[in-house]
Amino acid sequence: MTKDNYETWSIRVETWLDSQDAWDMIEKGFEEPIDIATLTLSQREVMQKAWRKDQLALTIIYQCLDDITFEIVVNVTTTKQAWKVLQESNQWADNVKKVRPQKLRGDFEKLHMLESGNISKYFARILAIYNQIKRYEKKIEETCVVEKFLRLLQKKLYYIVVVIE
């Protein structure tokens, strides 16, 4: 997994685990009791349910990995262990979280419509960068996208600005 797509991968997995109500397997983890025979029937049922939930979460993580990264976690038995191994193998992710938004902001500011450019392609480029920025900064305003679009349209397309406003 490359540095650039670790953050995207992490967000996707977190969202998927949340949707399956399995994120707590990352936070709390699952530990199988040493002596299952001493558990009551209800305790065994609770343990079995927690084990299934942990295996669901681990399966979700496995499904989101490429073949090379899968080899890193293939021998772990719990979701919490897999997450820890993946975080350790991607320690640079914290640095990416700090630097990436700054780079994206710069890319957003540098955007301009090419002379032979298509309006829809230009707007798609703006939205793509905006959505990437939004992953890191939840407080970015949608109005900045519209302002950027209107501000940078070529002179021959100013009539569109008037219509939009």
Same domain, 42 and 78: yes
Q: Is 132 exposed, middle or buried (0-12, 13-18, 19+ CB in 10 A)?
A: middle
Structural domain for 147, as ranges: 94-164
Same domain, 50 and 102: no
Q: Of the residues 43, 68, 91, which one is the last residue of a structural domain?
A: 91
Domain tally for the chain? Answer: 2
Same domain, 124 and 85: no
Q: Compute the average pLDDT of residues 8-23.
A: 82
Identify the top-confidence range among 35-39, 54-58, 132-136.
54-58
Q: What is the pLDDT of residue 53?
A: 92
Question: What confidence tier does 95 reach under pLDDT thresholds 50, 70, 90?
Answer: low
Q: Of the residues 76, 91, 106, which one is the last residue of a structural domain?
A: 91
Structure-model confidence comparison of residues 58 and 35, the more confident one: 58
Same domain, 112 and 32: no
Whether 106 and 81 have beta carbons less than 8 Å apart is answered as: no
Whether 133 and 124 have beta carbons less than 8 Å apart is answered as: no
Same domain, 9 and 87: yes
Same domain, 46 and 122: no
Same domain, 102 and 62: no
Q: What is the pTM of this model?
A: 0.51
Same domain, 136 and 153: yes
